[in-house]
Amino acid sequence: MSLRRLAPWLLALAFLAPLGAAKAHAQVVPSYKVKISNNNLVGVTISNYGFFGNNFVSRSPSFEYPLGSGFEHMVRGGLWIGAISDYNDDKPHAYLVSTGAVDGSQGSASASATEFTPAGNTILERSRLENSKFFSPEAISEQDFVCDYVDFPAKPTVTAGEDHFPIGVKVHQETYNWSFSRFRNFLAVHLVITNAGRTLDSLYVGLYEELASGNKSAYSSWPPSSSSGGSLGAWFNKKLMRWDDPSRLLSEHYCQSYTDGINSCQYQIVPPWVGVQLLGVHPDTVANKRVTEYIMNYAPGDTTREAAA
């Protein structure tokens, strides 16, 4: 299957900063902000706290492709970082995780589902287009969104029953998009992760995504429900997932039913494929990194993953 068919949203994770000390900066009162990319065919809600999508709190694009079509493809997503750290004297060899999104039902506020905190009070928009009011010679694309966030101090109420012990990282996030040719079919995300705390070992970086395609224009109320979808029924549990290891590409497509294989999917209900792809890392290369994926079911209260782990 060609990459071009799977191009709607490609995630570029470029981890540029090795572990190092953080520079002092002026105190800024954090403020949780979101923006929606709207320069090309990919409409994604971007936050300044590690969360992607809008958790279906409104009909505005969460991950809509093509933008304006009503075809929605993601409920929520978020940056995930794990490491081993000498956290403190009581935890000399602690396995720590900070996540931008946790499992949850649709329709709740995304700021309550992240363990990251904005390091500023805005999302900077820049553009290479000279006729744009956001024109900046520092811009990379036609629409850049730039922000910073941290995983400290601890936010103990995000994951029920689990205290959050911050890893101590700062994240600089930039997203890029272009409107011409095949570039109009993806949004690139560039992350710079810097250690601002203790020595870390075995650092892993990932992306949590609840991909779920559907036609939101076919639902009379929002968030979608089995009663508001008419003949389409409920939104969830209707997906075909594929992982292409050489390309580091996870793809998803709407699949109404799999009773007779792909012949019963009814692709025409939501035609586009969507994907999330790791494009590169720095320093070093992807070839020297361990890249894995894990696809799992989710429902409120579902404990099957705990048993599998």
Q: Rounded to an integer, what distance in angstroms lies between the CA atom of residue 118 and that of residue 99?
A: 13
Between residues 12 and 49, which one has the greater pLDDT?
A: 49
Q: Which of 68-72, 78-82, 170-174, 194-198 has the lowest mean pLDDT?
A: 194-198
Q: What value does the mean pLDDT take over residues 256-279?
A: 94
pLDDT at 103 over 80: yes
pLDDT at 4 over 60: no
pLDDT at 34 over 90: yes
Residue 252 lies in a domain: no
Q: Which of 36, 64, 55 is nearest to 145 (CA)?
A: 36
Residue 126 lies in a domain: yes
Q: Which residues pair with 34 in a beta bridge?
A: 47
Residue 237 lies in a domain: no
Q: Rounded to an integer, what distance in angstroms lies between the CA atom of residue 270 and that of residue 253?
A: 8
Residue 226 lies in a domain: no
Residue 267 lies in a domain: no
Q: Could you give the number of structural domains in the chain?
A: 1
Q: Per residue in 78-104, is it b (16+ CB within 10 Å) or e — as a string?
A: bbbbbbbbebeeeeeeeebbbbbbbbb
Q: What value does the mean pLDDT take over residues 105-119?
A: 93
pLDDT value of residue 190: 98
Predicted confidence (pLDDT) per residue in 116-130, tens digit: 999 999 999 999 999
pLDDT value of residue 209: 95
Geometric angle at alpha carbon 291, from 195 and 159, rounded to 5° = 60
pLDDT value of residue 302: 73
Q: Which of 3-7, 150-154, 175-179, 261-265 has the lowest mean pLDDT?
A: 3-7
Residue 70 lies in a domain: yes
Give, in order, the Cα–Cα distances in Å from 159 to each of 17, 84, 113, 207, 306.
28, 19, 8, 17, 15
Domain that holds residue 184: 8-217+272-308
pLDDT at 14 over 50: no
Q: Using CB atoms within 10 Å of the CB of residue 172, give its burial: 0 to 12 exposed, 13 to 18 middle, 19+ buried.
A: middle
Residue 306 — pLDDT band, cuts 50, 70, 90?
Answer: low
Q: Which residues pair with 172 in a beta bridge?
A: 148, 192
Average model confidence (pLDDT) across the chain = 88
Residue 260 — pLDDT band, cuts 50, 70, 90?
Answer: confident
Give, in order, the Cα–Cα distances in Å from 48 to each of 32, 77, 224, 258.
6, 13, 26, 38
Residue 238 lies in a domain: no
pLDDT at 68 over 50: yes
Residue 239 lies in a domain: no
Q: Which of 210, 218, 217, 219 is nearest to 239 (CA)?
A: 210
Half-sphere exposure of 231 (CA within 13 A, CB side): 1
pLDDT value of residue 18: 36
pLDDT at 16 over 80: no
